[in-house]
Structure 1
Amino acid sequence: MRILHTSDWHIGKVLKGQSRVEEHIAVLRQLVDIAREQRPDLVVVAGDLYDTAVPTPDATRLVTRALSALRGTGADVVAIAGNHDNGAALDALRAWADAAGIVLRGTVRDRPDDHIVTGQTRDGEPWRLVALPFLSQRYAIRATEMFDLSAAEATQTYADHVGRLLRRLSEGFGGDTVNLVTAHLTVIGGTMGGGERDAHTIQAYAVPTTVFSPATHYVALGHLHRAQSILGPCPVHYSGAPLQVDFGEEENVSSVTMVEVGTSSAARTRQVPVAAAVPLRTVRGTLDELSKVDGSEGWLRVYVRERPRAGLREAVQELLPRALEVRIDPALVAELAESGQRGTAQRTGRAPGELFADYLTSRGHADPAVSQLFDRLYGEVRTS
């Protein structure tokens, strides 16, 4: 059986005010091309199709067209909600998805069978997939109660809840089918990609790999944006995001995961690069050094080794038009703060303008134009 595993598309992402819709169109087009070339039996999208729970109509159109195009390659397609998605809104699209031959699961339903998807490969090999959308802590107890667990069991930890749900859903795994799981989870031992939502990746949301049945042939995870495998009782993999979502992900390789697995053969995985993704880069230096940087490729975060002053951002962006974020180099900020602390002046009896000038000096921002602006604004406030 051949599987294309992808996740964390984050359609609708705006990075420092820059829309990335054109990048997403190019990335998803290449993803469909990969599916046509690799001819997977199954495409799994393991959550975070959108970047926000309230996607725009254009974002919804892009996601539905991408899923339809993937289905058009002849592969079965299963997509689940992630923590960025609105699960109920995805469930509202299920009538469309069913008509298109796509399996879409947004929330945990009260029927366990709703989370079991079955099918056959082109060669007739049967497969069985447990599809578990992202489950927040506040709904974890309710979800386990729907599966007729005791009150005592319902008071346990998040990891216990997820483990019980997966054990219940995996009960039908047999030796004559390829047994699969897809979920949107933080698994202990995984490495953060750099752009995930911290509230849903903290330890309270982390689960051990022991929540997965040893009878599982492959676990297709979403949530962590770096492609990686996690040691467990069965093959556990994150596909990573097909494009770098934020500047913390500069070292991530944009890719999707191709999997070959059978009832009698261990899962073999390989990463297929997504070359259409626009890279994110961080550059550092003085204005003179930055003038020599080739900023024509990728979006840039710039750390400037210059004292803060009015117009510095504009000067950097004139040199590097693709700079989305311009900041004073943190190392220089620390140096200036340390020297400012050593030179802290007496405040008692001094005019506001003098105190503000001292503050600017302590932050390395001794710019006469800024001081003059403060004096003018302060004067207007006093006379109003």
Structure 2
Amino acid sequence: MRILHTSDWHVGKVLKGQSRAADHIAALRALVDVATAERPDLVIVAGDLYDTATPNAESTLIVTRGLSALRKAGADVVVIGGNHDNGRALDALRPWADAAGITIRGAIGKPEEHLLSGTTRDGEQWRLVALPFLSQRYAVRASEMFDLSAAEITQSYAGYVGDLIARLAQGYGADTVNLLTAHLTVIGATMGGGEREAHTIMGYAVPSTVFPSSVHYAALGHLHRAQSVSGPCPIRYSGSPLPIDFGEEENFASAAIVDVTASTAARVRELPLPVATPLRTVRGTLEQLATLDTGEAWLRVYVQEPPRAGLREEVQALLPKSLEVRIDPKLMPGPGAGKAEHARAGRSAGELFADYLGQRGHADEATVALFHRLHDEVMHS
């Protein structure tokens, strides 16, 4: 059978106030093109369809249209909830999804609901353990957590996940293609740069040994970088279909196509996906920035100029797609700055403010003058 594995869409993501809706529509259209060309038997979306637990109407429309289009391409579609998703809200879509031929498992329910089965066009039987993101609060009862050390909590979470997978895997068949999808962090995998750190490290990381050797392919979501992970079975993160923020600009946007049978090892092809609006970090003086051709990319700019009022606006006039403008860290004062502070006693607010700016490398006459004007307005109003 053939599987299209994708995850971490993060529809609804706003980057420094800029909507990514057009980029997400383009990314999902590219996924549908892959499904149309590759004709998978099964599409697995391994969590984090949304960037927020309270998606707006536009985001819901983008996701539901994307899932419907994948289904219309001829494949079975299975979706699990991620840590950014509201699992219960996803499950509320199940009547619609069932009617559309899409299977959703947004949150942990009865164990028997998380072992799915199906048949390919060629009559091949498959079974899939579908495990949405599992919060530590759910996995480890609060009364237990108060009595456990951090290491013991980690062990308890990993143990619960492993026990749940082992229980569900008992439903695998000897002559079926046995699959697993989950939204979690595996120890040894590499973060992509934009994940929610609290849900990727410490108590939320599990060893690859939680996956039984009877799994023919484990399709994971949560980490945004496409990668395989060593373990007792083939384990892979598909990565996000587009970079989520500037920490991921070097990530390779892709989806995974997997060919596997009950008696042969999984063969994975990583298919690149076009990114409608790339993310790019640039550095330089105003003069250097003025010479750059950055195309349609959204920009993070490290400007190599002394801090002053209006500098951001000057950069954005040169590079209108600058979403983030920072002073290059190399120009910031070192840890020894500010040791020679003047005494506060007997000094005006304006003098103190000017010293404060100077100690932090932001000395600028225009900013000080603006402070004096605002301070006078407040004091005499």
Aligned partner of 2:116 in structure 1 is 117
1:34-93 C-alpha deviation (Å, 9 max, x unpaired): 100011110000000000000011111111111111011111100000000000000000
Moved more, 218-227 or 172-181: 172-181
Aligned partner of 1:73 in structure 2 is 73
Distance 1:332 1:24 in 2: 36
| Alignment gaps of 5+ in structure 1 | 143-152
Aligned partner of 2:145 in structure 1 is none
1:21-60 pair list within 5 angstroms: 21-60=21-60
Distance 1:61 1:81 in 2: 17
| Amino acid in the other structure paired with 2:34 | I
Contact map agreement 1:218 1:235 (CA 8 A) in 2: yes
Aligned partner of 1:99 in structure 2 is 99
Moved more, 117-126 or 234-243: 117-126
Aligned partner of 1:228 in structure 2 is 227
CA 1:312/1:156 → structure 2, altered by over 3 Å: closer, same or farther? closer
Distance 2:236 2:81 in 1: 17
Distance 1:115 1:338 in 2: 54
Distance 1:332 1:344 in 2: 20
> Identical aligned pairs, as a percentage?
66
Moved more, 315-324 or 154-163: 154-163
Question: How far 1:182 moved relative to its partner?
Answer: 0.2
Query: Normalising by structure 1, what TM-score?
Result: 0.93
Moved more, 227-236 or 155-164: 155-164
Distance 1:132 1:331 in 2: 45
Aligned partner of 2:304 in structure 1 is 305
| Alignment gaps of 5+ in structure 2 | 142-151
Aligned partner of 2:375 in structure 1 is 378
Aligned partner of 2:257 in structure 1 is 258
Question: How far 1:339 moved relative to its partner?
Answer: 6.7
Contact map agreement 1:337 1:363 (CA 8 A) in 2: no
Distance 1:188 1:29 in 2: 32
Distance 1:103 1:256 in 2: 20
Q: Secondary structure at the match of 1:341?
A: coil
1:14-38 C-alpha deviation (Å, 9 max, x unpaired): 1000001111111111110110001
Aligned partner of 2:200 in structure 1 is 201
| Amino acid in the other structure paired with 2:323 | L
Q: Secondary structure at the match of 1:265?
A: coil
| Amino acid in the other structure paired with 1:368 | E
Aligned partner of 2:169 in structure 1 is 170
Question: How far 1:204 moved relative to its partner?
Answer: 0.7
Aligned partner of 1:292 in structure 2 is 291
Distance 1:247 1:154 in 2: 32
Q: Secondary structure at the match of 2:90?
A: helix
Aligned partner of 1:8 in structure 2 is 8
In the alignment, structure 1 residue 188 sits paired with structure 2 residue 196: no
1:298-336 C-alpha deviation (Å, 9 max, x unpaired): 110000111111110010001101110001112211xx2
- The alignment of Structure 1 onto Structure 2 pairs a total of residues equal to 371
Contact map agreement 2:154 2:202 (CA 8 A) in 1: no
Structure 1 segments, 4+ long, off by >6 Å, are 153-156
Q: Secondary structure at the match of 2:266?
A: strand
Query: Normalising by structure 2, what TM-score?
Result: 0.94
